[in-house]
């Protein structure tokens, strides 16, 4: 039913590994940046000058 597939040449395997590493690095980098940007939404930079409260949430 299933035929045995021939093994790919070494250059294709090397290329697949490089593409996989690049895509996984891009994914992990994007994930890290989204976490950093998501945290900044929680920072509240409100301040008070002469008894007047000035709200300044960081969105």
> What's the pLDDT at 19?
97
**Which residues, 6+ apart, have CB-to-CB distance to 41 below 8 Å?**
58, 59
Say if 49 falls within a structural domain. yes
Total-model pTM: 0.53
Say if 4 falls within a structural domain. no
Question: Looking at the 3D structure of the chain, how many domains does it have?
Answer: 1
Say if 5 falls within a structural domain. no
Most confident of 7-11, 13-17, 23-27, 34-38: 23-27
Range of the domain at 28: 10-54
Say if 46 falls within a structural domain. yes
> What's the pLDDT at 54?
80
> What's the pLDDT at 4?
61
Say if 41 falls within a structural domain. yes
């Amino acid at each position: 039913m299933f035929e045995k597939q021939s093994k790919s040449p070494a250059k294709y395997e090397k290329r697949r590994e490089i593409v996989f590493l690049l895509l996984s690095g891009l994914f992990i980098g994007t994930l890290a940046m989204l976490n950093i940007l998501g945290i900044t939404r929680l920072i509240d930079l409100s301040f008070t000058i002469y008894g007047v409260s000035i709200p300044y949430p960081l969105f």
